[in-house]
Amino acid sequence: EVHLLESGGGLVQPGRSLRLSCAASGFVFDDYAMHWVRQGPGKGLEWVSGINWGGSTVAYADSVKGRFTISRDNARDSLSLQMTSLRAEDTALYFCTRDLRTEVTGELDYWGQGTLVTVSS
């Protein structure tokens, strides 16, 4: 059974950094692209970032470009999101998700339960 478990969320001050992690199990991790998607309070889903199967291709939403870095460790079946210069508007539930394919298409067939990031002083 596919399982995605996010961790690393919490309360952080504006301008500080935070690193999210996602532990994957139940499938061959390096057969799939992976993504982070977030949902702010009272808002809709927002795609944040994606990475292809091998990590050679990454993509970011304009709202996080230059501040967030996505990476993966296929040896450890894990996905990460390094978030820097955090802003109040980054406050959201962050989901780790699996793409249907090896390359980034945005078609996401499995989702974790999310980890909550709150940016506030």
Query: Which listed range, 15-23, 24-32, 55-63, 78-86, lies at the site for other proteins (CB under 8 A)?
Result: 55-63
Tokens 């057969």 correspond to 31
Give 12 or 50: the residue with its C-beta nearer to other proteins.
50
CB 30 within 8 A of CB 53: yes
User: Per CB under 8 A, does 106 bind other proteins?
Assistant: yes
Please identify which residue in 18, 22, 24, 35 interacts with other proteins, judged by CB under 8 A. Answer: 35
Query: Which of 86, 82, 67 lies closest to 13 in space, CA to CA?
Result: 86
User: Per CB under 8 A, does 77 bind other proteins?
Assistant: no
User: Per CB under 8 A, does 72 bind other proteins?
Assistant: no
Q: Is 95 exposed, middle or buried (0-12, 13-18, 19+ CB in 10 A)?
A: buried
CB 2, min distance to other proteins, A: 11
Tokens 């996905």 correspond to 79
Quickly count: other Cβ atoms within 10 Å of residue 69's Cβ.
16
User: Per CB under 8 A, does 113 bind other proteins?
Assistant: yes
CB 45 within 8 A of CB 62: no
Give 1 or 62: the residue with its C-beta nearer to other proteins.
62
Binding residues for other proteins, per CB under 8 A? 35, 37, 44-47, 50, 57-59, 61-62, 95, 100, 104-109, 111-114
